[in-house]
A and B are shown apart, each in its own frame.
Chain A
Amino acid sequence: MTETLLELRNVTKYYDSKVGVENISFSLNSGEFLALFGPNGAGKTTTLKLIAGLIRPDSGEIIVMSRKLDGNASEAKNLIGYLPEYPSLPEYLTPEEFIEFLAALREVKSSEYAHELFKALGIDEFSNELIAKLSKGQRQLVAFTASIFHRPKILLLDEPFLGLDIFAQERISEILLEYISEGNSIIFSTHIFDFVKRFSHRVILISNGRIKDIIYDVENLNFGRLFKKFGGWAGCQQPQLSEK
């Protein structure tokens, strides 16, 4: 049975007087792969940050499995995993130590799944090296593990394939498909159209901080149609966001 895991109700966030997102409302069902698609600066990252609890909406509500998400909602936060667009990792910890640290904060008793992920992603070989010594792709894999190791119900991925080779992309794709099959849900933001088409059950088109359209018929989606929905090149102009 489909269960609503997440609901955003009229969420608005401004950066100073400029729009981050405005009046965004959507819900996420269990087992759903939801894509946020839009031009640079459209509000995708802001939406993900709001759901992850990193920033607070100026108005509106975010409900995670019937629990209202505010800054200090411990239970709700453990249901969410978040991979930032440019993850900043602790340079002088090893991947092993980093996961152990996050496990302590998230009160995860067993890090068995983390080790499974390490193995599946090929990180186990360097899990005891300092993160500072890892390559960009290896760091992205560590960041991905850190976002999913506690088996959250909702996984937020902001450009998850950034800096990864095609083999790593494929391994992550497999993990994500398995993860979805267990009844968990994913919201991801990407600029790669092929991934949107391959994985998504639903696509939310965002532009200038507002939802422009929601596409259910992803199978028949093509780039030309999508491009038109944004109003061609004119619609792809970025809003000027200022981030402190």
Chain B
Amino acid sequence: MPATTTLRKIRYMTFYKLLSHFGALRKDKKFGIAYFLLLLGGFLVISFGLSSFFTGFLTKTTRIETVELILSIFFSTQFILGMIVARKGGISIFTSEYHYVACTPITPLQYLISDTFFQFFSSNFLSMPVFLPLICMVGGYFLKLDAFEILVMICFALLYSIIEIMFSQGLGTLLSKTGSELLTNLVALSLVLITAIQYPLLLFTDLSIDKIYTPPFTAALTLSYVFGKRDLIYPPIAFTIFVIITLLIYWRASKLWFFNYIGPNYVSSVFDVTSYTTRLKHKQVLYLFEKFSKIIPIPSTRRAFFTLYHLSRMIRDGTLWVMTISIIIFFVNIIFVNPGKMLGLYKFVNLLALIAVANMSHGLLWIAHDRINMWIPLSAPNGVRKVLGGFERSLIILNLILSSPYIALNRDLLSAFFLPSVVALIIIPPKIMTLLIASLREVGKTFTTQFIVMIFLSLSLPIVLIAPMVAGSLFYPPIDLTSMINYLFGATIYLGMVYTILCLLLNKKVSEYSDD
């Protein structure tokens, strides 16, 4: 086959994927604005999460180690995400591709290359604006690198990103071919665990960065080696071996017709809720629900049914896992990394922010997921109330489980404020969801401006609510105990007031739409 034809196919396939993923932005300008706002929200959340994570390390590491650590976190995040994708075959297949591309004469290699490009652009769209300035800053500040060296650093980071995507695609495809879900999960999750456990190991043992030979760390150390900041030979060798292994499994995967092993993995466009995708997702939620109901016998009450339905959906759409992992990282941070700092205020804010964002995300994902079926509760007597009741109860269960370690660890004044705040965070999302559902009179149609505004408000609301506390926490540690307690009281009153006003307003609006 002529090279021009091959290149043409790769070009078209890549653009097709990008258009399918970011396609909503073509439809209307407001989607573009909404998407930008979502990215901004994501940026804030990631930055906030990272800043709290770094504080524990900075006291323990030297300058070069700090840079390596920051790079390794960037690389590890990509590696972990890659392994999660690898569980589903490592390749992003849109449903339309399954129907139309799979029966064309495109070769697996052409498809794989297109998908590498697509994943590179789509996955880095959000993370790059966060990490690249960070890399530039730390490189310039800690290592006194000049502009050219920083450019090399950025290029290396981008190159690593491509290698990691290729590794995920190759491994995912080969694992899918075995047909064993157990093996696939075992390999992918073991690699996730190995990558994640490096950081606690660094903190709690005498292990130094240069003794860790996982791909993210060897990549970071290789960069130090390139700049002549480290005189290590084994990490670059280990990294080279990783690259060779990646190329080999990628080449092997390119020989397989993977459409036979990997079905459409529900990668849909931003804001896209097509009926086909929804139908497939529903099938999986119901499958999970069925599994659950075999383990936990459901009492024949409507309440239990709806609660379990929402919990199954949260597990299926992945938000529960993301939340659990975030909380685990948070508590590791609390217990081991900076146990004395801010006497719990910083952690208090952190945890509330996590819970707030998670609760709103649960709500939004539910609407996005179930939107096409909203005619069912809307047309049933008290339907919305029943479904929302289930949603509320599932949030209560989750929040209580996830925040119980905090209460157990902090038997002090803060805990007394903590529970009411969590309760408030549980109350808010169902109210907003009610408004959203009530606005969905044209069920099944594409998103309206109102809906997009609500999405943004819902995502940004928790951030707005905790903003004063976040701002306060940024100035730590030079806050004495008295001013901190004053601040705590002030902040709690502020939160309480905002919540009360919001609840009152929402209640008023909700009652206008109420179907009770």
A interface residues, Cβ below 8 angstroms from B: 52-56, 70-75, 77-78, 80, 82, 84, 86-93, 97, 101-102, 104-107, 130, 132-133, 146, 244
A88 & B99 in contact (Cβ 8 Å cutoff) = yes
Q: Which of B251-277 contact A (CB under 8 A)?
A: 256-257, 259-260, 263-264, 269, 272, 274, 276
Candidates B5, B19, B256, B446; contact of A93 at CB < 8 Å: B19
B274 & A88 in contact (Cβ 8 Å cutoff) = yes
B105 & A91 in contact (Cβ 8 Å cutoff) = no
Query: Interface majority SS on A: helix, strand, loop or mixed?
Result: loop
- Interface flags for B440-451 (1: CB within 8 Å of A; 0: not) read 000000100000
Known A74-B105, A106-B105; contact A132-B13, beta-carbon cutoff 8 A: no
Known A91-B269, A101-B16; contact A54-B257, beta-carbon cutoff 8 A: no
A118 CA to B15 CA in the complex, in Å? Answer: 23
B104 & A77 in contact (Cβ 8 Å cutoff) = yes
B100 within 8 A of A: yes
Q: Which of B154-206 contact A (CB under 8 A)?
A: none
Q: Nearest chain A CB to B184's CB is how many angstroms away? A: 13
B108 within 8 A of A: yes
A75 CA to B284 CA in the complex, in Å? Answer: 36
Q: Nearest chain B CB to A12's CB is how many angstroms away? A: 15
Going nearest first, the 6 A-B pairs with the smallest beta carbon separation are: A92-B23, A71-B257, A74-B105, A88-B95, A104-B12, A105-B104
B63 within 8 A of A: no
A111 CA to B99 CA in the complex, in Å? Answer: 20
Q: B24 contacts which chain A residues (CB < 8 A)?
A: 92
Candidates B5, B8, B103, B276; contact of A88 at CB < 8 Å: B276
Q: Nearest chain B CB to A158's CB is how many angstroms away? A: 10
Chain A residue nearest to B22 (CB atoms) is: A92
28 of the cross-chain contacts (CB-CB < 8 Å) are A54-B103, A54-B259, A70-B257, A71-B257, A73-B105, A74-B107, A78-B104, A82-B103, A88-B99, A88-B264, A90-B16, A90-B20, A90-B23, A90-B94, A90-B96, A91-B272, A93-B16, A93-B19, A101-B15, A101-B16, A104-B9, A105-B9, A106-B104, A107-B5, A107-B105, A133-B27, A146-B100, A244-B263
Q: A91 contacts which chain B residues (CB < 8 A)?
A: 20, 23, 96, 269, 272, 274
A80 CA to B102 CA in the complex, in Å? Answer: 12
B260 & A87 in contact (Cβ 8 Å cutoff) = no
Q: Nearest chain B CB to A65's CB is how many angstroms away? A: 14
**Chain B interface size range:** 35 or more
B16 & A71 in contact (Cβ 8 Å cutoff) = no
- Interface flags for B17-37 (1: CB within 8 Å of A; 0: not) read 001101110110000000000
Q: Nearest chain B CB to A126's CB is how many angstroms away? A: 14
- Interface flags for B236-256 (1: CB within 8 Å of A; 0: not) read 000000000000000000001
B interface residues, Cβ below 8 angstroms from A: 5, 8-9, 12-13, 15-16, 19-20, 22-24, 26-27, 94-96, 98-108, 256-257, 259-260, 263-264, 269, 272, 274, 276, 446
Candidates A77, A90, A101, A107; contact of B103 at CB < 8 Å: A77
Candidates B13, B26, B260; contact of A71 at CB < 8 Å: B260
Chain A residue nearest to B95 (CB atoms) is: A88
Q: A86 contacts which chain B residues (CB < 8 A)?
A: 276
Q: Nearest chain A CB to B442's CB is how many angstroms away? A: 14
Q: Nearest chain A CB to B396's CB is how many angstroms away? A: 34
Q: Nearest chain B CB to A141's CB is how many angstroms away? A: 15
Known A91-B274, A104-B12; contact A130-B27, beta-carbon cutoff 8 A: yes
Q: A74 contacts which chain B residues (CB < 8 A)?
A: 105, 107
A134 CA to B259 CA in the complex, in Å? Answer: 28
B12 & A105 in contact (Cβ 8 Å cutoff) = yes
Candidates B5, B27, B96, B103; contact of A53 at CB < 8 Å: B103
Q: A133 contacts which chain B residues (CB < 8 A)?
A: 27
Q: B102 contacts which chain A residues (CB < 8 A)?
A: 52-54
Q: Nearest chain A CB to B368's CB is how many angstroms away? A: 15
Chain A residue nearest to B108 (CB atoms) is: A72
A87 CA to B15 CA in the complex, in Å? Answer: 21
Q: Nearest chain B CB to A242's CB is how many angstroms away? A: 9
Q: Nearest chain A CB to B494's CB is how many angstroms away? A: 43
Q: Nearest chain A CB to B279's CB is how many angstroms away? A: 9
Known A91-B274, A105-B13; contact A78-B260, beta-carbon cutoff 8 A: no
A104 & B8 in contact (Cβ 8 Å cutoff) = yes
Chain B residue nearest to A80 (CB atoms) is: B103
A73 CA to B260 CA in the complex, in Å? Answer: 13
Q: Nearest chain B CB to A203's CB is how many angstroms away? A: 24
A92 CA to B13 CA in the complex, in Å? Answer: 14
Q: B5 contacts which chain A residues (CB < 8 A)?
A: 107
A72 & B16 in contact (Cβ 8 Å cutoff) = no
A88 & B27 in contact (Cβ 8 Å cutoff) = no
A101 CA to B10 CA in the complex, in Å? Answer: 11
A78 CA to B19 CA in the complex, in Å? Answer: 24
A71 & B259 in contact (Cβ 8 Å cutoff) = yes
A78 & B100 in contact (Cβ 8 Å cutoff) = no
Q: B446 contacts which chain A residues (CB < 8 A)?
A: 132
Q: Nearest chain B CB to A240's CB is how many angstroms away? A: 14
A102 & B259 in contact (Cβ 8 Å cutoff) = no
